[in-house]
Amino acid sequence: MKLTKTLPVLLAVLLSAIAIEGFSQKGKLRLANDYFNAFKFEKAAEVYEDILKKNPEDMIALRGAGTARMRTSHFDQAENHFAALTKIPTSTDKDLLDYAYVLKIQRKYDEAVVVYEKYLSYGPDPCLVGYTYNDWATRIIRDSARFEIRETQVNSANSDFAPAFTENGMVFSSSRKQGKGKRKIYAWNDQSYLNLYTCEITPDSNLTNAKVMKNQANSRYHEGTITYDPVHKIMYFTRNNFLKGKKNTDDDGTLKLGVFYANYADGKIGKVKPFPFNEPEFSVGHPAISADGSKMYFVSDMEGGYGGTDIYVSVRNLDFWSPPVNLGPKINTPGNEMFPSTDSRGTLYFASDYHPGLGGLDLFYTSLEDSAKVKNFGYPINSSYDDFSLIAYADGLSGYYTSNRPGGMGDDDIYAFVVHPVSTIVCSGKVFDLASGDHIPNATIIARDPATNKIQEVSVVTDEEGNFRVELPFASTYELVGTKDGYFDKTVQINNDGRTGFVDDVELYLTAMDYASEGTVYFAFDGSPVAGAQITLKSLDGTVLGERITDDDGGYFFGLDPESQYIIEAALDNYPTQTVVIDTRGLDASVIHSDIRMFNYEKGAIVQLDNIYYNYDQATIRTDAQRDLDRLAGILRSNPTMRVELRSHTDSRGTDAYNLRLSERRAKAAVDYLIKKGIAPKRLVWKGYGETELLNKCVNDADCSETEHQKNRRTEFKILDI
Spell out the residues 6+ positions from residue 65 whose beta carbon is closer than 8 angstroms to its own. 45, 48, 49, 52, 77, 78, 81
d(CA 361, CA 700): 86
Mean per-residue pLDDT over the chain, rounded: 86
pLDDT at residue number 629:
86
Q: Tell me the CA distances in angstroms from 208 to 133, 153, 168, 266, one per residue in order.
A: 43, 6, 13, 18
Enclosing H/E stretch for 376: strand 375-376
Residue 680: exposure state from Cβ atoms within 10 A (0-12, 13-18, ≥19): exposed
Q: In the predicted model, what is the mean pLDDT of residues 98-105?
A: 91
d(CA 388, CA 41): 23
Same-domain check for residues 350 and 213: yes
CB 46 within 8 Å of CB 68: no
Residue 585: exposure state from Cβ atoms within 10 A (0-12, 13-18, ≥19): exposed
Same-domain check for residues 91 and 214: no
pLDDT at residue number 624:
61
CATH of residue 694's domain is 3.30.1330.60
Same-domain check for residues 355 and 214: yes
Enclosing H/E stretch for 35: helix 25-37
Q: Which of 376, 392, 419 is the last residue of a domain?
A: 419
**Can you give the three-state secondary structure of 457-475, one letter per residue?**
EEEEECCCCCEEEEEEECC
In a domain, 278, yes or no: yes
pLDDT at residue number 411:
84
pLDDT at residue number 187:
43
CA 149 to chain centre: 24
Same-domain check for residues 644 and 708: yes
Dump strand ranges (E) for 282-361. 284-289, 295-300, 310-317, 320-321, 325-326, 337-342, 347-352
Same-domain check for residues 59 and 197: no
Name the pLDDT band for 615 (thresholds 50, 70, 90).
low
Q: Does residue 391 surpass a pLDDT of 90? A: yes
Same-domain check for residues 360 and 492: no
Q: Does residue 246 surpass a pLDDT of 80? A: no
pLDDT at residue number 181:
46
- Full domain range(s) for residue 42: 3-123
Top-confidence residue, 256 or 566: 566
Start-to-end C-alpha separation, the chain: 78
- 263 forms beta bridges with 234
State pLDDT tens for residues 617-632.
Answer: 666 776 666 777 888 8
pLDDT at residue number 685:
94
Q: In the predicted model, what is the mean pLDDT of residues 46-51?
A: 92
What ranges in 385-519 are assigned the alpha helix state H? none
Name the pLDDT band for 612 (thresholds 50, 70, 90).
low
Q: Does residue 189 surpass a pLDDT of 60? A: no
Name the pLDDT band for 711 (thresholds 50, 70, 90).
confident
Enclosing H/E stretch for 78: helix 75-86
pLDDT at residue number 13:
35
Backbone angles phi, psi at 476, to 5 degrees: -70, -25
CATH of residue 95's domain is 1.25.40.10
| DSSP state at residue 10 | P
In a domain, 433, yes or no: yes
Same-domain check for residues 622 and 656: yes
C-alpha angle 110/148/287, rounded to 5°?
85
Same-domain check for residues 312 and 453: no
Q: Is the pTM of this model over 0.85?
A: no
Q: Which of 240, 151, 165 is nearest to 195 (CA)?
A: 240
pLDDT at residue number 594:
84
> How many beta carbons lie within 10 A of that of residue 475, not counting itself?
17
Cis before residue 163, ω within 30 degrees of 0?
no
Name the pLDDT band for 215 (thresholds 50, 70, 90).
low
In a domain, 136, yes or no: no
pLDDT at residue number 188:
40
Q: Tally the domains of the chain.
A: 4
Name the pLDDT band for 412 (thresholds 50, 70, 90).
very high
pLDDT at residue number 16:
35
In a domain, 276, yes or no: yes
| DSSP state at residue 194 | P
C-alpha angle 302/303/308, rounded to 5°?
65
State pLDDT tens for residues 453-494.
Answer: 788 878 899 999 999 999 999 988 999 999 998 888 899 999
Q: In the predicted model, what is the mean pLDDT of residues 690-715?
A: 85
Q: Which of 510, 535, 564 is the last residue of a domain?
A: 510
In a domain, 228, yes or no: yes
Q: Does residue 432 surpass a pLDDT of 60? A: yes
CB 176 within 8 Å of CB 231: no
In the chain, the percentage of residues whose pLDDT exceeds 90 is: 48
pLDDT at residue number 21:
57
Spell out the residues 6+ positions from residue 547 whose beta carbon is closer than 8 angstroms to its own. 446, 448, 455, 481, 489, 534, 535, 536, 537
CATH of residue 194's domain is 2.120.10.30
Same-domain check for residues 365 and 467: no
Q: In the predicted model, what is the mean pLDDT of residues 638-645?
A: 94
Q: In the predicted model, what is the mean pLDDT of residues 340-352?
A: 93
Top-confidence residue, 136 or 530: 530
Spell out the residues 6+ positions from residue 191 whose beta carbon is closer than 8 angstroms to its own. 158, 159, 175, 185, 411
pLDDT at residue number 551:
87
Same-domain check for residues 287 and 394: yes
- 3-class DSSP state for residue 179? coil
Same-domain check for residues 64 and 98: yes
Q: Tell me the CA distances in angstroms from 51 to 29, 41, 45, one per residue in order.
A: 7, 15, 10
In a domain, 174, yes or no: yes
pLDDT at residue number 220:
61
CB 427 within 8 Å of CB 412: no
Q: In the predicted model, what is the mean pLDDT of residues 122-149?
A: 85
Worst-scoring range by mean pLDDT, 269-273, 369-373, 399-403, 660-664? Answer: 369-373
Q: Tell me the CA distances in angstroms from 264 to 167, 215, 276, 299, one per residue in order.
A: 9, 12, 19, 22
In a domain, 135, yes or no: no
Same-domain check for residues 194 and 334: yes
In a domain, 531, yes or no: no
Q: Which of 419, 434, 450 is the last residue of a domain?
A: 419
CATH of residue 484's domain is 2.60.40.10
d(CA 659, CA 652): 8
Q: Which of 53, 19, 13 is nearest to 35 (CA)?
A: 13
